[in-house]
Amino acid sequence: MNRLISAPTTIVHTPAQLAGLALRSLPESGPPAASPPRVETATLPRHVAIIMDGNGRWAQQRGLSRSEGHREGARAVRRVVTQARNRGVEVLTLYAFSAQNWRRPGAEIEALMALLIEFCHDERSLLEEQAICFRVIGQRERLSPEARGAVELLEESTIDNGAMQLLVALSYGAREELVRAARQLCAEVAAGRLSPADIDEAAVERYLWTAGVPDPDLLIRTSGELRVSNFLLWQIAYAELHVDQRLWPEFDADAFDAALTAYAGRERRFGAIQAPPDPAQAR
Ligand code: FPP
């Protein structure tokens, strides 16, 4: 079930949420009529997506195992989930395990799955307290019965929570997601329920794992890498990118706020151009 609201671009913030953030809001009346469409000053992103990178390097720098790096990464997940929720972000999507990560050594996969199961058990009360709805996107059918059971239990128990949606991408790949959508659309056409001429962006979106979720406004990647790694390729078409040099286990509430502040200073054009200055206003 999807309970996300298709809300307007600006969101009301409490003074506490705004503290420390150089956020600029659109005027209540919206942009002047002369402006070209879809030019906005970014405020608080509705949807933040994060590529959590650098657990392995963090561990290596300390002479620890990669699994210990992932464990420290899970601590960072808790911090960031709380911060995003407290800041008023509507959707937070975390890339926890890609479809390609199955190629990692078995012991590392096992450690990651064990952490996931632990997270689902241990964080249930935190998600309940903070009214966060948890949902998995990706090839859930590839998860072990135990891991799948743990995530589905958490999904069921948090389904009515409305403060923030936490999407965790597991065995996720954007190309895999698009192939799956193409197959489902073809099946609809073959069954005579859909005409090829009716396949538009909205039709494709209905078959994505993120159906009904607003596209990410802000994509954060840690560890300084400049790649999108098969993550939400359709959905990030107009996302603002923010690369943080810290390794994921070092990412904290301040780092999250810094990303929000950087986002607040961006001008989003969505393919349009900025309106030329109004000479009357200049006088
Ligand atoms: C990438 O760093 C990180 C991952 C593949 C796993 C992310 C998992 C967590 C943050 C912890 C578990 C998550 C949840 C939701 C409980 P890397 O290992 O590729 O780092 P490296 O590039 O330094 O080797």
pLDDT digit string (tens) for 107-166?
Answer: 999 999 999 999 999 999 999 999 999 999 999 999 999 999 999 999 999 999 999 999
The verdict on residue 51 lying in a domain is: yes
pLDDT above 80 for 42: no
How far CA 234 is from CA of 5, 82, 170, 204, 230, in Å, comes to 20, 27, 17, 10, 10
For ligand 1, whether the C-beta of 92 sits within 6 Å is: no
pLDDT at residue 41, as a whole number: 65
Q: Is residue 280 part of a domain?
A: no
Give the residue, by CA position, lying nearest to ligand 1 atom 16: 116
> Dihedral sign, CA of 82, 84, 86, 89?
negative
Within a domain: 221 = yes
DSSP state of 44: S
Question: How would residue 28 be classed by pLDDT, with cut points 50, 70 and 90?
Answer: very low
- At residue 162's C-alpha, the angle toward residues 157 and 166, to 5°, is 70
Q: 247 alpha carbon to ligand 1 midpoint, in Å? A: 10
Residue 35 lies in a domain: no
CATH assignment at residue 111: 3.40.1180.10
At position 64, the amino acid (one-letter code) is L
* Nearest atom in ligand 1 to 104's CA: 5
- Ligand 1 centre distance from Cα of residue 82 (Å): 19
Please give the structure tokens belonging to residue 233. Answer: 């390729």
Q: Tell me which of 50, 51, 52, 223 to substitute to probe ligand 1's pocket, judged by most ligand atoms within 8 Å of the beta carbon.
A: 52
Report whether residue 101 contacts ligand 1, using a CB cutoff of 6 Å.
yes
Residue 272: the pLDDT is 86
Range of the domain at 126: 44-173+214-266
DSSP type of residue 214? P
Residue 156 covered by a domain: yes
* 75 within a domain of the structure (yes/no): yes
Structure tokens at 30: 């919206």
pLDDT in tens, 246-263: 999 999 999 999 999 999
**C-beta atoms surrounding 58 within 10 Å:** 23
- Judge whether 101 counts as a catalytic residue: yes
Q: Count structural domains, the chain.
A: 1
Cβ atoms of 268 and 238 within 8 Å: the answer is: yes
- The span from the CA of 206 to the CA of 214, in Å, is 12
